[in-house]
Structure 1
Amino acid sequence: MKKLVLLLLAFLSLQLSAQELKLKKGAVVDNIKVGDSLPYSFSLLLPSNFTVNKKWPVVFIVDYNNREKQVIRLMASIAEEKGYILAASNNLNDTISISKNILAFTKTFNSVVGMLPIDENQIYTTGFNRAGRLASTIPAFISNIDGVLSYSSTVGNIEIINVKKPYQYIGIVSGYNFNYTEMLANKELLNKLKIPNQLLIEESRNNWPSTNNLATALDLFKMSAMAKGNLAVDSLFINNNYNTTLTTINKLVAANKLKKAKNLIDQTIMVYKPFKKIDSLKDKSNALRKNKIYKSLKRAENNVWFKEQSLKNDFAYYVEEDAYTHNFNNLGWWAHQTKEIDRFKNSTNQEQQKMGYRLEGYLVALTNDYIDTVLAEKNTDYDALSFLYMLKTIIAPKDYDPYLKIISLSAKNNDFGTSIFYLEELLKNGYTDADKLYNLESTTLLKLTPEYNALIEKYLKKGRYILKE
């Protein structure tokens, strides 16, 4: 087959270029213009066996600030294997309104649906982290979205889901991610609303979902389409996936990983109920629920969740209280809390270990949210901002930007002592960009001081203004 697909776009309603457009198959093509006069573009991946003689499922990738190009390449091999088209708007941004992001997405959506043979019953969106909320909001504006895949993010607004025509929701989250407990609560709420959903759990601390879970998600979309009657039932596909899942369940039970086994059994019941008799799986689920080891594991998990929620409530209260009362004296208490979190992270108890990482992620996200809030205020509270930057250096010591912000803010107030202290803390933590240190805002006088230059010379051997004896 030819490597290039020739698509004639002369009469598209969205005013795509009236010239011939050549698209590679099996490779990502970036920056395809929506129209000659419009400032919108998108990235596209066609499977290597793409042909215009059949209709194809499509996943629209929703992400911000050029990350969509990373996501489309992450999913490329899975889409190739499963036979999905991938498309991603290049114009989404987390600093603009939802309405503007929806508009940019709609331009890409209409362009792709207009130019390619898309199966209108297999149209999906996916979003990672914060973008997951936007991905789950889009179906409220574009009704023929059949499913949403969200990584580490809950549904944007459950109230706007059309319960009479709900989409298939699939979540993926790591047990180490601070959104883990919220994703579990999100699942329970979707269940109560009878909205079809599955939650896939990552076992690693990676920032990206595994290819296994991405492949499973696309398979679940396919089976959902079959269950709705939108796609012919492929018995071989169903049986192969079912048997593979049963093998996994049996291995989990044999290894006494009973919580994971029961979760997988319950998910399997929901997925395969339209295709198979699942009485034996229901019996197995009930047996596990009564199992003493399973009960013990659930109690331990619930105890961890209770402690985690209590600590999160404390953190939420004290971050706000300390920031807006400029309680710099409480930074020592925060340093103690991070030591406690580190103790959890280093625990031999896996549930406590996961809790430690979740608490760390929660505290970082919470502090970032308050920083954004203070910066968005008409009259910036610079003392509150300084406190939050200082807190950030405690809870995320390898994030260098807060150190630089404190150095600059303190120098602006002629508090060179604080600037020097945080400069040394920054350098101790491995910072190496001497040029940036000499170009920080409001540091004209600070960077001439002997102390400032001596520290840069000591750690980087790049002090510029060193007095020679």
Structure 2
Amino acid sequence: MKGLLFAFFTIFILSGLGAQEYRITKGGVTNSLAIPGAPGETYALYIPRDYSPEMNWPVIFTFDPQGRGAKSASLFRLAAENQQYIIAASNFNLQNRPVDSIVRKAAAMMDNVLRSFPVDPLLVYTAGMEEGAQVASALPLIYKKMAGVMAIGNSFVNANYLDKENPYMFIGIAGKKDYMVYEMEDYLRFYDDLDFPTDVYYFDGKQNEWPSAQVISNAVTGFTLEAIRKGKRPDDPEFIKKLFEDELAFSESLRRTRQYHAAFEKLDRMKVKYEDYGFEEVIEEKKKEIKRIKNYRSQKNKFRQAVAFEKEQQREYEYLLKTDIMTANFQNIGWWAYQIDELNKLKDKDEVAQSNMAHRLLGYLDFVSKREFDEIMRSQANIDIKIFISVLRTAINKEDPEAYFKIISLAALDGDEETALLYLEDLLKTGYNDLESLYNIEGALDLQFNPEYNAIIKRYLGESKFFNE
């Protein structure tokens, strides 16, 4: 019989309501396990195939912004099998919910796993992406023995609450297309300055994306090696060699796909990571091989030029954005739309450094314009400024329905029916199809009974609520 044969075992989990029986899959993801103390919330669990209750296990608690526990547990499967970790992944959605309530639920999940499995209390780790990374990096405030945090694309840092006497390892992972890449590097410098052990990884992705299972596994080796250095895991030379060879193979895959600069940078970081284990000569030889490749220096120079231009462009965008908002300069909306068009063209180019830079700048403009939009909508700013930032948002992010809704609302309140109808149609051109929401726009009640308003909706959605003959 081909394929993997999963092993099953039964555990009893104690809660305030009594014992609960679960059938756990070894070598597979067991989903929808209830969290005592957090009604309605569940988590997914991955137990390695060689799991035995006779030993105490390291555990990684993972947090996905959308509560996709089974997916995030699967991404950590390679690391779990090769490096012996239990993976517990939350199924609760983190978006638009207070961090403190999420942290309480995460703490309940951690407590449940620590009580139910033979976990080494000194080898407890957290990992998360975006909002999940903020939760993961806040949990050391609750669990004081935390051994490490893996933050992907974001983090939470408050120097006032860090226990500098009990440093944990901080691993930052950033997508090369993610505008947060520089923020992640700032977080790493922050922890470095406090003498916390750190490591950094990059992957070919943008914001709100998980890295591949291979990148995650390579990153988890940072936790594993740090535990070995501190005597919390066995110092097995063959095991360490296997970790090194797996990571070296990843560097080689970058070289073979002509990502010479990325491969060289990876080797540079590996040199520091494995400095205690006698692999320096192997790494130096690999670096020399890359240096001899004709396109390496060209890639390196293009990368540096792109980064320098990007940082200058970020500063200019932020200044011009604030200036245009203060003056509600509608004449410059076209200039912003042109910038977006040019960046979209650039991101589709074959030149990797410039393409990644364009992705990051687009993400950055989306972020800063949304930040300004939210602040202005909460403020007492006049209607012209509120309409301006809403129109600007539609130029920068054509897929954001919130800005279109706000323009329709403000225009209706101002008696500007023509503008409201224009942006209703622009919204529907993006493919938006939630009929009900189009009839619940704040301040636009009279407009919704307008025959032309309904005719536009029917033209795009095939039906409308009124005048539907």
Superposition TM-score tier, normalisation by shorter sequence:
0.7 to 0.9
Deviation at 1:195, TM superposition (A): 3.3
Q: 1:6-34 CA distances to partner (integer Å, 9 max, x unpaired)?
A: 3252xxxxx63323432433333326132
Contact persistence 1:269–1:281 (CA under 8 A): yes
Contact persistence 1:41–1:108 (CA under 8 A): no
Structure 1 CA distance for aligned equivalents of residues 203 and 345 of structure 2:
23
For residue 156 of structure 1, what is the aligned residue in structure 2? 157
Within 5 A, what are the aligned runs for 1:3-402? Answer: 3-7=8-12, 9=14, 16-25=16-25, 26-30=28-32, 32-35=34-37, 39=39, 41-47=41-47, 49=49, 50-64=51-65, 66-67=66-67, 69=69, 71-75=71-75, 77-78=77-78, 81-82=81-82, 83-88=84-89, 93=94, 95=96, 98-154=99-155, 156-157=157-158, 161-188=162-189, 190-191=191-192, 193-205=194-206, 207-249=209-251, 252=254, 257-282=259-284, 285=287, 294-377=296-379, 379=380, 383-402=384-403
Structure 1 CA distance for aligned equivalents of residues 279 and 90 of structure 2:
42
Residues 343 and 7 of structure 1, relative CA distance in 2, 3 Å threshold: same
Residues 85 and 324 of structure 1, relative CA distance in 2, 3 Å threshold: farther
Structure 2 CA distance for aligned equivalents of residues 100 and 212 of structure 1:
32
Contact persistence 1:136–1:148 (CA under 8 A): yes
Contact persistence 2:170–2:188 (CA under 8 A): no
Residues 253 and 463 of structure 1, relative CA distance in 2, 3 Å threshold: closer
Contact persistence 2:171–2:200 (CA under 8 A): yes
Q: 1:436-464 CA distances to partner (integer Å, 9 max, x unpaired)?
A: 32343333321232322332233333245
2:11 partner SS: strand
Deviation at 1:174, TM superposition (A): 1.7
Amino acid at match of 1:218: V
Deviation at 1:254, TM superposition (A): 6.7
1:445 partner SS: helix
Amino acid at match of 2:238: L
Q: Does 1:460 align with 2:465?
A: no
2:457 partner SS: helix
Residues 119 and 17 of structure 1, relative CA distance in 2, 3 Å threshold: same
Structure 2 CA distance for aligned equivalents of residues 434 and 98 of structure 1:
32
Contact persistence 2:29–2:70 (CA under 8 A): no
Structure 1 CA distance for aligned equivalents of residues 387 and 216 of structure 2:
41
Structure 1 length-normalised TM: 0.84
Residues 411 and 28 of structure 1, relative CA distance in 2, 3 Å threshold: farther
Structure 2 CA distance for aligned equivalents of residues 91 and 458 of structure 1:
38
Structure 1 CA distance for aligned equivalents of residues 148 and 340 of structure 2:
39
Amino acid at match of 1:116: F
Identity %: 26
Deviation at 1:287, TM superposition (A): 8.7
Contact persistence 2:64–2:72 (CA under 8 A): no
Contact persistence 1:132–1:156 (CA under 8 A): no
Q: Does 1:420 align with 2:421?
A: yes
Deviation at 1:257, TM superposition (A): 3.7
2:373 partner SS: helix
Q: 1:360-383 CA distances to partner (integer Å, 9 max, x unpaired)?
A: 111111222223333444x47654
Residues 56 and 419 of structure 1, relative CA distance in 2, 3 Å threshold: same
Contact persistence 2:151–2:173 (CA under 8 A): yes
Structure 1 CA distance for aligned equivalents of residues 216 and 128 of structure 2:
12
Deviation at 1:59, TM superposition (A): 1.2
Contact persistence 1:177–1:361 (CA under 8 A): yes
Structure 1 CA distance for aligned equivalents of residues 280 and 159 of structure 2:
30
Root-mean-square deviation (CA), in Å? 3.4
Amino acid at match of 1:424: E
Deviation at 1:355, TM superposition (A): 0.9
Deviation at 1:134, TM superposition (A): 3.3
Structure 1 CA distance for aligned equivalents of residues 93 and 347 of structure 2:
35
Structure 1 CA distance for aligned equivalents of residues 383 and 89 of structure 2:
39
Amino acid at match of 1:69: G
Amino acid at match of 2:181: Y
Q: 1:47-88 CA distances to partner (integer Å, 9 max, x unpaired)?
A: 164443322221112355x52536545436446634432334
Amino acid at match of 2:81: E
Structure 1 CA distance for aligned equivalents of residues 386 and 303 of structure 2:
36
Deviation at 1:261, TM superposition (A): 2.5
Structure 1 CA distance for aligned equivalents of residues 468 and 286 of structure 2:
78
Amino acid at match of 1:28: T
Contact persistence 2:128–2:152 (CA under 8 A): yes
Q: Which sections of structure 1, spanning at least 5 residues, go unmatched? A: 10-14
Amino acid at match of 2:421: I
1:7 partner SS: strand
Q: Which sections of structure 2, spanning at least 5 residues, go unmatched? A: 1-5
